[in-house]
Amino acid sequence: MAKLVIGIIIGALVVYLALNSSEDAQTSINLSESPEYVANKAVMEAHFQGLMDEDLEAMSAQVADSLKWSAPAYGAVAYAGSKDDYIKDVKFYLDNFDNITIQQSIYLPGLDQFTSEPDGSVRAYVHWKITHTESGVVAEPWYYGSFDLEGGKIVVAVEFMDVGGLMNHVATASAGE
């Protein structure tokens, strides 16, 4: 009887492995090669290039009118920002900082928060280098953003950066401290 049970278990295991070892099941997808992600990543790279080029018009064209934005500043309410709010914030940086460059950037594909399946979103970790226009103080803030895109436009943007720390650095360095 024991040999029969062991035989059934081994037989079931062999059948299970045979059914689940098809080529499709063994092929893993590199999420960073997904066509949707690749296209969306290109939009984000162009968006950040627009910031470095100080091209507010190009940046604005890459943002959907229905944008839901979470600003990186302390006290910002999640998803309360609009496209107008976002563009005003970008304009603030363009008006107050020059020589905007990327020191390092890492782009990663995003996953749906409920299914953990690739969703085409783009996560960006960026180490910026900027010069405060008025004082000449150079700062190198780190930044993280998560972006959902539809039709080549940003529809949701959630950003994180130590804005207060950046402004404190500029104030302290320009005061000679």
- Domain borders along the chain are 31-174
Q: HSE of 16 in the Cβ direction (CA atoms, 13 Å)?
A: 6
Asked: is 31-174 a CATH 3.90.1570.10 domain? The reply is: no
Give the pLDDT score at 18. Answer: 56
Please state, for a pLDDT cut of 70, what percent of the chain lies above it: 83
Is the model more confident about 114 or about 15?
114
Altogether, the residues listed in the chain come to a count of: 177
Is the model more confident about 120 or about 176?
120
Q: Residue range 102-131: average pLDDT?
A: 93
pLDDT score of 176 more than 80 = yes
Nearest by Cα to 126 from 139, 141, 137, 147: 141
pLDDT digits (tens, 9 = 90+) for 57-98: 999 999 999 999 999 988 888 889 999 999 999 999 999 999
Q: How far is CA 132 from CA 74, 75, 96, 169, 177, in A?
A: 20, 23, 6, 10, 16
The torsion angles phi and psi of 71, rounded to 5 degrees, stand at: -70, 155
